[in-house]
Amino acid sequence: MTPTEVLKNIFGYDNFRPGQQAVIQKVLNEQNVLAVMPTGAGKSLCYQVPALSREGVTLVISPLISLMKDQVDSLKQNGINAAALNSTTPQEEVNPILRQAYEGKIKLLYVTPERLEMDYFRYQLNFLNVRLVAVDEAHCISQWGHDFRPAYRKILSGINSLRSRPNILALTATATPEVRSDIAHQLNISPNDFVITSFARPNISFKIVNSPKNTRLYVSQFIKSHPEESGIIYTNTRKEVQVLVNYLNERGLNVEGYHGGMESQERESVQDDFQFDRVKVIVATNAFGMGIDKSNVRYVIHANSARNIESYYQEAGRAGRDGLESTAILIYHPSDLQTYRWFIDNSEADDKYRQAQYQKLNDITNYVNSGECLQQFIVRYFGQECKPCGKCSNCLDDRKKANVTNEAQKIIGMIYDLDGRFGKSIVAQAVTGSTNQKMKSIRANKLEHYGSLKKPQSEVISLIDYLIANGYLELTTGQYPLVHATNLGWDVLDGKQQVFRKIEQKPSSNANSQE
């Protein structure tokens, strides 16, 4: 069958989606390919269609057993015989599965990267005509990515040892240019064979809610005002899932919780309730979502910020897969980032990976504070361009821009005085003239800009965040990030550059900024 026939007759779809045909063509031409497409774009079809339109077996490397199971189940529902081999497969089932693959009855075989490391498994694969190895969630190969998985590093040598010399198709939803070239380098893919579709999600309105007084109240009011709609609320800990579910239930809202600590049966039943609209809203950790294929999710709210832009966009992107107008809200509280920092501080990962994760925390902080179009910010983060969306909370922010050069100069001057040796809060304490022990021990009161800015510290920190997000200042990466000025920042200090910011135009704050 031709790819178009497979699409129509087996999957029942009329048209390919953007990028699919280009990928399939390259695969059939036996090129190694990297496909970068957002969540929900239809990456799986890019290897399933070629697998079914020609002889031979396609090996799909997948990081999660649950993900494999979902894929195999949904293929079986379409009448396609596929199988998964992983640590949960009973030993007596392995040989029959491989036999069926040998006989051409199974065309898609899902395996974990660890399985490909096993000598005996690779020996067995040599009896099969493996044409293509599809590497799903390919960003797991990169330490610059957000989900590094050591076994992914050995995929290429595993593939190279196969007698049938299959081609490679790497797939991911979340690759920055850096991660992209790392994947290509490690899997031997030429930059000419990248297929990258647009990252913009025009039917999603992105919104930031910065430091609300009561996050739980905000969430409950949002749910109440959208009673007919399906939504997902992400929190950062299992405990917060439970607390928030109780809070919402007590207010008469029918929501269910989901996290990795629940029994698998219970998780499945929550997932089904959501899928079949028996419950409209799920409160979950990031364990929820992989393999969920619900097209009419109208909103996704991150109640405790997010650990990085990649995960944020993947999770927020579960809204509006049907193409209808949807909303993605990030509720931001600086203390949430402390939790994520703590996760990184205490992770077992090596230093390089940890540094990359700290940088990603800085990036998401910049997302919250930048003031530019949110859709544009994200798309640029992934190395693309798009027009301002006209409907995110920044595009709709009609406050006037105020000149904050004077305040910025005091902050940058303070950083100069302190020689760039401190983080945000020490800078804010010093420039506002705090008299605590730390100020005494560093003799801050002897410095030129000490106490030069008469504002609450929280406002000063917010301005520092703004200056970082807009390139006047930068944070070092690491457990205790220091604030440094960039060249643009020094230009502000020298009076060569002005800084504008949208803020509430209260008469009193205007008077302050003129001082």
Return the one option of Zn ion, ligand ADP, none that residue 28 interacts with (CB less than 5 to 8 A, by type): none
Per-residue CA distances from 248 to 83, 244, 336, 377, 396 (Å): 41, 6, 20, 32, 29
Kindly state whether residue 330 participates in binding Zn ion, applying the rule CB under 5 A.
no
Kindly state whether residue 233 participates in binding ligand ADP, applying the rule CB under 6 A.
no
- Separation of alpha carbons 489 and 411, rounded Å: 10
Specify the DSSP class assigned to residue 225: T
Q: Which span (39-47, 175-183, 269-277, 368-376) binds Zn ion, by CB under 5 A?
A: 368-376
| Radius of gyration for the alpha carbons in the chain, expressed in angstroms and rounded | 26
What values do phi and psi take at 233, rounded to 5?
-110, 115
Q: Which tokens is 131 given?
A: 């044409």
- 512 closest CA partner among 435, 459, 474, 442: 459
Side-chain-side CA neighbours of 274 within 13 Å: the count stands at: 28
Q: Which span (10-18, 118-126, 345-353, 492-500) binds ligand ADP, by CB under 6 A?
A: 10-18
Q: Which amino acid is at 147?
A: D
Shortest reach from residue 375's CB to Zn ion, in Å = 5
Q: Which span (79-87, 161-169, 385-393, 400-408) binds Zn ion, by CB under 5 A?
A: 385-393
Nearer to ligand ADP, 15 or 437 (CB): 15
Among 73, 93, 272, 293, binds ligand ADP (CB under 6 A): 293
Nearer to ligand ADP, 41 or 155 (CB): 41
Return the one option of Zn ion, ligand ADP, none that residue 44 interacts with (CB less than 5 to 8 A, by type): ligand ADP
Kindly state whether residue 373 participates in binding Zn ion, applying the rule CB under 5 A.
yes
Specify the DSSP class assigned to residue 213: S
Kindly state whether residue 316 participates in binding Zn ion, applying the rule CB under 5 A.
no
Q: Which span (2-10, 319-327, 340-348, 390-398) binds Zn ion, by CB under 5 A?
A: 390-398
Return the one option of Zn ion, ligand ADP, none that residue 392 interacts with (CB less than 5 to 8 A, by type): Zn ion
Sketch the per residue contact string, 27 through 66, with ligand ADP: x for CB under 6 A, - otherwise.
----------x-xxxxxxx---------------------
**CB neighbours (10 Å) of residue 446?**
8
> What is the largest distance, in Å, between two alpha-carbon atoms of the chain?
82
Among 8, 17, 238, 438, binds ligand ADP (CB under 6 A): 17
Kindly state whether residue 198 participates in binding ligand ADP, applying the rule CB under 6 A.
no
Contact 54, 131 (CB under 8 A): yes
Kindly state whether residue 412 participates in binding ligand ADP, applying the rule CB under 6 A.
no
Nearer to Zn ion, 21 or 384 (CB): 384
Residue with tokens 């002897």: 446
Kindly state whether residue 392 participates in binding Zn ion, applying the rule CB under 5 A.
yes
Contact 111, 59 (CB under 8 A): yes
Return the one option of ligand ADP, Zn ion, none that residue 16 interacts with (CB less than 5 to 8 A, by type): ligand ADP
E strand intervals along 159-259: 167-172, 194-196, 204-210, 230-234, 255-258
- 3-state class of 290 per DSSP? coil
Specify the DSSP class assigned to residue 493: H
Residue ranges in contact with ligand ADP by CB under 6 A: 13, 15-17, 20, 37, 39-45, 293
